[in-house]
Structure 1
């Protein structure tokens, strides 16, 4: 008999409950099956990167964990608590553990930088504005930006500065889990490297658990302790980052080497239509 995916999360030998535990997760949009039985675990303090090509379901997986999408089947546990089926109010309570760096930074154009960074502190934690401003300045310093940047508006920032402001906002509430959505997309290689170093430094400083999704293998190698590859709605490989070059998995081999020959189905007609 197969185990019940909604059963309490098993404890590791050290007695530690997985920070995130996913079992049998399925999500479809009409006839398009995006997630087809995803199983995944993330230990406290771990940095897991889910790799895979565009359209493989990475963003959908993230949205399901965040409670923005409801799966058709399966289980998502955070610190051993089942989150699938929670009310919006209950899910908001769970989300207080989360920080998020969006792919495009997703800053509020009408707010100055410091208010973007302090948004969660003021709105969710009801912190006084003066206190929130001081903390926002500290978080900006954490990502290498001076306090004067806090007075600027997002439209006045470069792409790299916007990404750093987004990272400052992601860590502002000292979250237990930080999600990174394609953290280096749109950045030049040097700035991408800087952002990756900041991600590693700040998640370690906070003692946070990291979950990233990306198709950038250079970035994935820099920020992860473990990787999992998602293909056609399933995890086809999962292991320590140090072992990915000797995974022996044909899907992983094709992806990390960027070749057009292998088991990954590439509909070339779509690109030349």
Structure 2
């Protein structure tokens, strides 16, 4: 029987690109992650859905290393990364690209320098070469050459998202993280961003982990969807099964119904 070939980085092809096991994170008495398990395969686009305060953002921050879990395992290509030393953390971080919820652009830098930031600061690339790559990535997300010399304040929300996406893909990352990628956008621009995400992930052959409460976005960019509730994954499956999950929590969420097992905490004044 022929064995599976190794990936270019030497790991086995059946090793998950990202695997979270038993993640726990509390802030004071509030338990945000409560033994969360999640696995993302190579070149897979996984979208985690869930309401506000369910642990989506904390999970993402733990996965990317911006926050340390209280306990649990975070494996990238089979390597444990939960408690890496700074030098090793920097090495692993080079595999990542991220589109932040608010684009998170540097106001004092022109667009092209925002896109090239990781190349110049992280990879110590020359500014001229980094600018060429930045222009290439801006074109890839549908922005004209003239935009490169503008500043973020001169751009619309949709254009800022595109710049953020260009920055996320500039370093040719192996794993892309998307934090509420369509928040604040009108439905048409949101669909444009979704299309660009699908294209960029496919062109890179990257693994993608996204968090969102936007079901239109989830349906478009996901190969597989998982739902988080009270710090745990309560359902996961192919995007084609989301409407027939058999899970009452998923059913209530995707249809936006007030009545159901998910009860919103509303303060009484």
Cα–Cα, structure 1 residues 15 and 200, in superposed 2: closer, same or farther, change >3 Å?
closer
Structure 1 segment 30-179 matched on structure 2, within 5 A: 30-179=28-177
Instruction: Give how far 1:174 is off.
Output: 0.5
Q: Secondary structure at the match of 1:104?
A: coil
2:227 corresponding residue in structure 1 = 229
Instruction: Give how far 1:92 is off.
Output: 1.2
2:7 corresponding residue in structure 1 = none
1:243 corresponding residue in structure 2 = 241
In the TM superposition, structure 1's runs of 4+ consecutive aligned residues that sit over 3 Å from their partners are none
With normalisation by structure 2, the TM-score equals 0.94
Please give the alpha-carbon distance, in whole angstroms, between the structure 2 residues aligned to 1:146 and 1:25.
42
Please give the alpha-carbon distance, in whole angstroms, between the structure 1 residues aligned to 2:67 and 2:169.
23
1:193 corresponding residue in structure 2 = 191
2:14 corresponding residue in structure 1 = 16
Instruction: Give how far 1:89 is off.
Output: 2.2
- 1:194-233 deviations in Å (ceiling 9; x for gaps): 0000000010000000000000001100000000000001
Q: Which runs of 5+ in 2 are unaligned?
A: 1-11
Instruction: Give how far 1:88 is off.
Output: 2.2
Q: Which runs of 5+ in 1 are unaligned?
A: 1-13
Instruction: Give how far 1:64 is off.
Output: 0.4
RMSD of Structure 2 on Structure 1 (CA)? 0.9
Q: Secondary structure at the match of 2:25?
A: strand
Task: State the number of aligned residues.
Answer: 258
Q: Secondary structure at the match of 2:227?
A: strand
Instruction: Give how far 1:152 is off.
Output: 0.2
With normalisation by structure 1, the TM-score equals 0.93
Q: Secondary structure at the match of 2:20?
A: strand
Please give the alpha-carbon distance, in whole angstroms, between the structure 2 residues aligned to 1:262 and 1:211.
27
Instruction: Give how far 1:87 is off.
Output: 1.5
Q: Secondary structure at the match of 2:183?
A: coil
- 1:66-111 deviations in Å (ceiling 9; x for gaps): 1111111110000000001111221111010000000000000000
Q: Secondary structure at the match of 2:39?
A: strand
Q: Does 1:220 align with 2:224?
A: no
Instruction: Give how far 1:15 is off.
Output: 4.4
